[in-house]
Amino acid sequence: MASASGTGKLSREEFRRQRDLDAARKAGTAPAAVDEEGKPINPHIPQYIAQAPWYLDTGAPSLSHQRIPEYDRSADKLDNWYDRGAKAGPAAKKYRKGACENCGALTHKKQDCLERPRKRGARYTGKDIVADDVIQDVATGYDAKRDRWNGYDPSEHKKIYAEYAAIEAARQKLREEEIDKQVTTDLAAVRKVAKAGKGEGGKDDDFGSSDEEDEDADKYAESADAVGQKLDTKTRITVRNLRIREDTAKYLINLDPSSAYYDPKTRSMRDNPVKDTAAEDAQFTGENFLKYTGEAPDMQQLQLFAWNAAARGNDVHMNANPTQGQLLHQEYLKKKEQLKESTKVSILAKYGGEEYLEKAPKELLQGQTEEYTEFSRTGQVIKGKEHVAVRSKYPEDVYVNNHTAVWGSWYDTSTGEWGYACCRSTVHISYCTGEAGIEAARASSAQNLLASSSAGPSSSAQPEAPKAERPSSVTTDDRKKKADELFSKRRLGEGEVKIDENRLAAALREERDRKRKGRAEDEEDEWGKKRKKAETAEVTEEDLGAYAWALTLIVLADQRIVHVEAYRMTRRMTEDPMANYVDAEDS
C-alpha cells in the first residue's frame, strides 16, 4: 500500500499482484509493510498519503515524507539576532590592500560602504580609517526566521510614545489658555474653543474624530443593521443571513414544480430554472454553471485521464502525485496531436484534396470598410475617395537651387550625360540659369562653333550696335551675337579670313592621321630616313581654321575637366572614415 514505486509503469501481472497484496494486508492475512526504521505501515492509510512525491521518493515503503523534520531547537531563539554597529577592535593605522577605498575597512568594498563618501578616500589619504565590522553568522530556526519582529528593539517605541505625549500635552495647554482668556461663562463658547483646538469641524487632525462624534457613533452603532447579518441588541445574538433581502430567491424564479430541483437544506439549485433562456440573459443559470468556467474543465479532464490511466494499470494518482499526472497528461496530449497530424497527412497523401482545405485569410473573407466609392463603366471614381498613388520612401518633386525640373529629366545625346531639363546643366546640384544656360550650352557646342567658323566674315564683320540702341531686355539674338563674338576668329587672333570647306576637311583629316600614327617632324619614318623639315611650307587659312577649332575644343574640354575636378575635390566624402579626423598637433 505504501510502496513508493516511483513513476515506473507496472505490467498487468505486477499490477494484479500488488492489488492482491494490498487486499491481503487490509484483511490481515499478510504482514504489513515496514518502513526504513522498522516500523509497520498501516495498510488502511490512503494511497495519496502513503505514496511519496517524485521529489521525495526513496524507492522503498516509507512515511518519512509525512513527518516533521527534526532540527536543533536550541538555536531557535527569538532573541538571537545580529549585534548592530559592532566593531572588531581598534582601527588600523594605515591603509591595507584589498580594503574599502572609502573608509579603509577590510570587511566590505567601496560599493557596499555605508560611511559618508569622502572627497579623497582612505586609499589615497591613509587617514581616518574605520575599524572592521563584526561578521556574525546567526543560525535562526523555523520560528525565528519567520518572526517579523525578530531583531526589533522595544525601546525604540518609547521614543514615538514620548513624542505623541508631548504633542498632546502642548495641545491641552493651548486649550486651557484659550478658555482662560474667555470672559464669559457660557458653556457653548467654552465647547467651541475646545473644538477649535482639535481642528476645523471638531475633528482632530492627528487622532481622528472628537469625543462627541465618538459618542454619537457608539449610540447608533447598536441599532444599525449590517448587510448580510441581523443583530439583536437585546440578546446579543448574531444571525447570519445567506442572501440580501432585495435579491429574488432561487425557488421563486420559476414556480413550475417540474423545473430545476431546489434543495432547501443546502439552499442550492444546481440546474437552470429557465432552460430556454440564454446564459447572458438569464437571472440565474444554476450552480453547476460555475463548474464549467475557468480552469474547472481542465481539472476534470486531468482527473478523467488519471482514472483511465489507473484503470489500465498505470501508477497515476492526482492527489498523491499531481505533478506526475500533469506531466503525463501533457505528454499524452502532445502524442495525440502528433498522431492526429500524421493521420491527416497520410489520408491527404493517399486520397489527395489538400487544396480544398486551404482558404483565404479571415481578413480577406470578412474585410469591410465604411468608405463608399462609386465607379463609372470606364473605372473612373464618380463618388468617394480616389485611390492614393503609391509613393516611394525617397523625397519626390523636391526642387533645389532654383531648378524647375529634377535631376535626370534631360539627357545630352552628344556627351551621354544626364542633367536638368530646365537649364540643360549636366553638373549635379548646380544653380539653375534658365534659358540663358540653355543658349550658352548651345553656343558652346562643337557643331555651333563649326557653323560659326564656316559662316565667313559676314558673321564677324557686322558692326556692334551702340549701347544706347540696345533694348533693356536681353533677347535670343543678343545671346547668339555675344556667343559669336566670344568664339569668332577675331577673338582667336585670325582676323577676317575666308576658309574653303574642302581644304578644311582635308587639313583636319591629315591632323588626325598624324596624331594617330604618332609621327613627329624629327622622327624616322618606316624606311629609316629622317624627315626633312619643310622650311618653305606655307600655313594656309584652312590649317589655321583647323588649329583654331582644335584649340577651342581643347579650351572647352579643359574648362569641363576643371569644373569636374573642382566638384570632386569639394565633394564631401561621407563614406570616408577619416573625413572628420583632425590631428591634434596640426590643429
Pairing between strand 237-240 and 229-232?
antiparallel
Model confidence pLDDT, tens digit, residues 143-187 = 778 888 888 888 889 999 999 999 999 999 998 888 887 655 556
Lowest mean pLDDT among 210-224, 522-536, 566-580: 522-536
Contact 400, 429 (CB under 8 A): yes
Encode pLDDT of 233-288 as tens digits.
555 555 555 667 777 888 888 888 888 999 989 888 988 898 888 878 888 888 88
- The secondary structure of residue 480, as a DSSP letter, is H
In angstroms, the CA 2 to CA 80 distance is 41
What DSSP designation does 108 have? S
List pLDDT tens digits, range 60-89: 888 989 888 776 666 556 667 788 778 888
- Nearest Cα to 507, choosing from 543, 454, 537? 543
What 3-state DSSP class applies to 382?
strand
Quick: pLDDT tens for 399-433: 888 898 888 888 888 788 899 989 888 888 888 98
Strand ranges (DSSP E) for 143-191? none
Decide if 479 contacts 443 (C-beta within 8 A). Answer: yes
**Whether the predicted pLDDT of 222 surpasses 70:** no
- Grid cell locating 10: 507496472
> At residue 24, what is the residue type?
A
Asked if residue 433 lies in contact with residue 423, where contact means CB atoms within 8 angstroms, the answer is yes
What is the tally of helices (H) and strands (E) in the chain?
A: 17, 8
Nearest to 461 by CA among 493, 492, 484: 484
List the domain boundaries for the chain. Answer: 1-81, 95-127, 167-226, 296-348, 444-462+476-516+539-570
Residue written as cell 555605508? 114
Mean pLDDT of the chain: 75
DSSP 66: G
State phi, psi for 51 to the nearest 5 degrees.
-85, 130
pLDDT of 392 reads 75
Statement: residue 122 has pLDDT above 60: yes
Measure CA 241 to chain center: 52
Cα 450 to Cα 489: distance, rounded to the nearest angstrom? 11
Which of 378 and 499 is assigned the larger pLDDT?
378
Q: What share of the chain has pLDDT > 90, as a percent?
A: 20
DSSP at 112: G
Which is higher by pLDDT, 298 or 527?
Answer: 298
Tell me, what's the pLDDT at 160? 92
